[in-house]
């Protein structure tokens, strides 16, 4: 192998792949990157056997070839190089690289030992999504998934594709996030899979806003393919909570709130929230919204006017951490729906209305209430 690549592109690719590198005493080969140079590109692959990712970058290839290299050491070295061309050559399982005044050599491993990545069957159900929508869907749901392995199914994002729409949902039992893309035309078969949220987010981090990504749903894995990034992710098993009966519930009160003053009020009140409960209280009445919190050492309250909405009064306690995270993911104008302080609060945001069958997304975030018995 003898190639030339740009340091910045190589560094970016290894940064994306580093979190897919495995650790195993019984299979140390997965602690390596696999480099394959052919045509006019360099393909770099990493795997921990549950997540496999491949990034392709442009390269001037004088001699084709392949080599597996220690991932951590390679990524650290490339990170420290100057932003210039990197000249790479391999011989007898050793790699030599030069970049301006820097030279380094590293021992590699036989690339034939690297695990073969079997793609999902080409005839499996699939959908193609614009990257900008896919990244938005993952960004607005992944943070809600729990990290507690005892609630295994809730560590994932459920992707539910059916004719005309695709839906992404995540929950940790105390909150629920659902992102939906409407008017999507290339779905013919209903499919429902559960994808680990952290793995999904790692793929989203590696792709740009431009272009499309194909999601191909197998029985045990999902294959994601964009212009220069591919991933194979092992699916979670088990049943995701039946959330649609919750988000489709009719609530009697609706009010439109500007996100900016609402989020600012939450941050200010949070200063006085208990470190144990992290609770703030939202009150809606007489065209005003207030957010307050108190503890033994002090209390705080922030109030702002509502633009419009005809609704009953509300007094509801919730986690300021959950509420701030939800508001941060929302569009500037939010519809708040509720019944009373003992039932969930619904935050909804929509794309601007479109003509005809253009793609349109909507986002729903449900937050469960907290007890108000000790709140003034």
Q: Where are the CATH 3.10.150.10 domain residues in the chain? A: 2-113, 126-245, 249-367
Cβ–Cβ < 8 Å for 283, 315: yes
d(CA 120, CA 150): 29
Sign of CA dihedral 9, 10, 11, 15: positive
- Give the Cα separation of 158 and 172 in Å (integer): 13
Predicted pLDDT at 308: 64
For residue 354, the model assigns a pLDDT of: 47
* Distance set, CA 330 to CA 16, 51, 251, 319, 348 (Å): 26, 30, 20, 17, 8
Q: Which two tokens stand for residue 167?
A: 């839906």
Distance, CA of 187 to chain centre: 22
pLDDT of residue 302: 95
Tell me the CATH number of domain 249-367, given options 3.40.710.10, 3.40.50.300, 3.10.150.10, 3.40.1190.20.
Answer: 3.10.150.10
**In a structure prediction context, what are the per-residue pLDDT tens digits for the chain, which is 376 residues long?**
999 999 999 999 999 999 999 998 899 999 999 999 999 999 999 999 999 999 999 999 999 999 999 999 999 999 999 999 999 999 999 999 999 999 999 999 999 999 988 899 989 999 999 999 999 999 999 999 998 888 888 999 999 999 999 999 999 999 999 999 998 878 888 999 999 999 999 999 999 999 999 999 999 999 999 999 999 999 999 899 999 999 988 899 999 999 999 999 999 999 999 999 999 999 998 889 999 999 888 999 999 998 766 677 899 999 999 999 999 999 889 999 999 999 999 999 987 554 456 788 999 999 999 987 544 4
CB 317, CB 242: distance < 8 Å: no
CATH of domain 126-245: 3.10.150.10
Q: Which distant-in-sequence residues (6+ apart) come within 8 Å of 236 by Cβ?
A: 152, 153, 155, 156, 194, 195, 196
- 72-89 residues labelled b (16+ CB within 10 A) or e (exposed): eebbebbeebeeebbbbb
SS3 156: strand
Class of domain 2-113: alpha beta
Q: How high is the pLDDT of residue 296?
A: 82
| C-alpha neighbours within 13 Å on the C-beta side of residue 41 | 10
- 191 Cβ contact list (under 8 Å, min separation 6): 125, 159, 160, 161, 162, 217
Sign of CA dihedral 9, 15, 17, 23: positive
């Amino acid at each position: 192998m003898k190639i030339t690549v740009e340091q910045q592109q190589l560094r970016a690719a290894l940064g994306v792949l580093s979190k897919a590198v495995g650790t195993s005493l019984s299979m140390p080969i997965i602690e390596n990157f696999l480099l394959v140079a052919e045509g006019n590109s360099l393909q770099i692959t990493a795997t921990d056997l549950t997540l496999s990712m491949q990034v392709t970058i442009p390269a001037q290839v004088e001699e084709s070839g392949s080599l597996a290299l220690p991932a951590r050491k390679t990524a650290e070295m490339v990170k420290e190089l100057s932003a210039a061309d990197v000249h790479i050559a391999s011989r007898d399982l050793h790699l030599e690289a030069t970049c301006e005044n820097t030279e380094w050599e590293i021992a590699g491993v036989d690339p034939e030992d690297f695990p073969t990545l079997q793609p999902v069957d080409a005839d499996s159900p699939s959908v193609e999504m614009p990257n900008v929508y896919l990244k938005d869907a993952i960004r607005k749901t992944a943070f809600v998934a729990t990290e507690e392995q005892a609630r295994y199914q809730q560590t994932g994002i459920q992707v539910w594709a059916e004719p005309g729409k695709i839906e992404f949902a995540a929950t940790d039992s105390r909150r629920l996030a659902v992102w939906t893309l409407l008017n999507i035309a290339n779905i013919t078969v209903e499919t429902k899979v559960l994808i680990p949220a952290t793995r999904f987010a790692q793929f989203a981090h590696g792709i740009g806003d431009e272009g499309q990504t194909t999601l191909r749903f197998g029985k045990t894995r999902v294959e994601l393919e964009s212009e220069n990034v591919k991933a194979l992710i092992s699916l979670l098993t088990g049943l995701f909570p039946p959330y649609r009966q919750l988000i489709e519930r009719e609530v009697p009160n609706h009010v439109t709130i500007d996100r900016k003053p609402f989020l600012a009020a939450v941050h200010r009140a949070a200063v006085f929230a208990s470190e144990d409960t992290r609770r703030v209280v939202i009150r809606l009445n007489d065209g005003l919204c207030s957010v307050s919190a108190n503890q033994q050492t002090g209390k705080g309250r922030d109030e702002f006017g509502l633009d419009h909405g005809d609704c009953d009064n509300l007094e509801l306690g919730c986690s300021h951490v959950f509420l701030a995270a939800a508001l941060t993911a929302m569009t500037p104008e939010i519809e708040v729906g509720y019944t009373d302080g003992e039932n969930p609060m619904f935050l909804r945001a929509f794309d601007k209305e479109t003509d005809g069958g253009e793609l349109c997304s909507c986002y729903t975030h449900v937050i469960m209430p907290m007890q108000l018995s000790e709140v003034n």
